[in-house]
Amino acid sequence: MTIRQKIQTAILRTTIYATSTLALLEYTTQIPSEGRSSRTYHKLFDQIITPLGRRIFGPEEAHHLSLEVVRRGLAPRAKKGLDAGVDRTGHVVDMEVEIGLRRSGTNESGGNGNSNKSIESAKSTTSSKIIFRSPIGLAAGYDKNGIAIPGLFDLGFSFVEIGSVTPLPQPGNPKPRSFRLVEDKGVINRFGFNSEGVEKVKEYLEEYRKEFGGARPDSLEMTESSATDNDEDLAVGVSHSANSVLWALGWAWHRIMGKQPKTGVLGVNLGKNKLSNDEIGDYTTGI
């Protein structure tokens, strides 16, 4: 490990410890405490941690560091009710966005019927809708593998898109591949679909759904149900009951302690492997 890497590691540890200590102090000394939603915590990141991180770490290092901070639940939290339509002055603002999804109707006349029947068929098709708490969300490219989904919703995004996810793991483009545009307050991202692959991302999504998304364990895992021995059946039943209890306790804990649901509209952006000769097959695997 080089001297520069040792210095970066030491600074990273100090920053995480300092942030954790401040969060603990806010939670334990201020009653009622706003914790990571407080202005103090937001100012700490806006005025100290973020500017310092930009000076010390390169663009890609800062990217991964910030993602780790979000994953560990150390990033600032959106003000309670802010993304639900209540601004800092207490005024109610309607920020909800509704998007309707309609499936195209089929021509039941077999191509020889009149156009009126076709139009009526199209109008009678079923439709669904997606409701967003606000129009502000996160596009794919930041959390490539879905490791920090709860923390991203914690920031106040009403929707989060992870990825791009490729069928097989791949490292992406050679480094350097991320560049800061300081004057424009932006970055150029040329990561190139670096991904841990669909199987690993599937595991992360299952963990997220179990802990935060309200999905019961038995809805995500196929279990053996053909056992004939009574003792085995009893053991399986006890295991299912224990998993259900743990799921319920975890769900209740995050609902109570989170101050706002760590859920929202979640999307997965799919990609193809760089060396693949079957693009359709790659996307089919992702789906």
Give Cβ neighbours of residue 49 (< 8 Å, ≥ 6 apart).
15, 19
pLDDT digits (tens, 9 = 90+) for 149-191: 989 998 889 899 999 999 999 999 999 999 999 899 899 999 9
Digit-coded pLDDT (tens) for 127-152: 578 888 888 999 999 999 999 998 99
38 has a pLDDT exceeding 80: no
Which residues, 6 or more positions from 86, have their beta carbon under 8 angstroms from its beta carbon? 92, 93
DSSP 8-class letter at 48: I
Structure tokens of 180? 């800061």
Q: Name which of 33, 250, 277, 5 is nearest 150 in CA terms.
A: 250
Please report which confidence band the pLDDT of residue 100 belongs to, taking 50, 70 and 90 as the band edges.
confident
Question: What's the pLDDT at 30?
Answer: 45
| Rounded Cα distance, 34 and 214, in Å | 25
Q: Which helix (H) or strand (E) holds 99?
A: strand 97-102
CA 105/CA 96 separation, integer angstroms: 28
Given a cut of 80, whether residue 22 has pLDDT beyond it is no
DSSP state of 129: E
> Using an 8 Å Cβ cutoff, are 131 and 96 in contact?
yes
Give pLDDT, residue 23: 63
pLDDT of 276 > 80? The answer is yes
H helix intervals, the chain: 3-29, 39-44, 50-56, 59-71, 115-123, 149-154, 198-211, 230-257, 279-286
Q: What is the pLDDT of residues 232-252, one digit of tens each?
A: 554 545 556 666 666 666 556
- What are the distances in angstroms from CA 115 to CA 118, 120, 258? 5, 9, 54
Instruction: Return the number of other C-beta atoms located less than 10 Å from residue 15's C-beta.
Output: 18
Using pLDDT thresholds of 50, 70 and 90, give the confidence band for residue 81.
Answer: low
Residue 262: count of CB within 10 angstroms of its CB: 20
Predicted local confidence at residue 162, as pLDDT: 97
- What pLDDT score was predicted for residue 78? 81
Task: Give the mean model confidence (pLDDT) for residues 250-258.
Answer: 55
pLDDT score of 5: 79
Q: What is the pLDDT of residue 227?
A: 39
The pLDDT value recorded for residue 181 is 94
User: What is the distance between the alpha carbons of residues 177 and 189, in angstroms, rounded to a whole number?
Assistant: 6
Provide the whole-model pTM.
0.68
Range scoring the smallest mean pLDDT among 40-49, 62-71, 72-81: 72-81
pLDDT value at position 220?
A: 46
Predicted pLDDT of residue 179: 96
